[in-house]
Amino acid sequence: MRKIKEKRMQSYVLRARKMVQEGKNKEGAEMLSEGLNYYSKNIIKALTPYATADAGIISMVLRNLADGIEKDNPGAKELRMWAENNTTKPELQETIKVKKPNMR
């Protein structure tokens, strides 16, 4: 019986760091932007569809998760602060569809 390999991606941060060390600052920043796009799309995909009225709750949960991640992972906050100043943030692209709820 063959074992199915788990899909694992290489870290965007480690690839970007390697590029910066090689003097490719622009490419390193682009790699981080690519990572931002990747994770943003996957998080939005996991959250949608959601009730518009719950947007505040979702925002609060995401901020709480971000604070926890920064607290538990040394260097995460510093990387975020650097990335905010040196990369392009992906635009939020949501499609709003009005549907009647079918669950409580």
> How many other CB atoms are found less than 10 A from the CB of residue 37?
15
This prediction's pTM: 0.72
pLDDT along the chain (104 residues), means of 10: 76 92 91 90 88 91 95 92 82 70 70
Sign, CA dihedral 83-89-90-94, equals positive
Q: What is the pLDDT of residue 84?
A: 86
Q: What is the pLDDT of residue 1?
A: 66
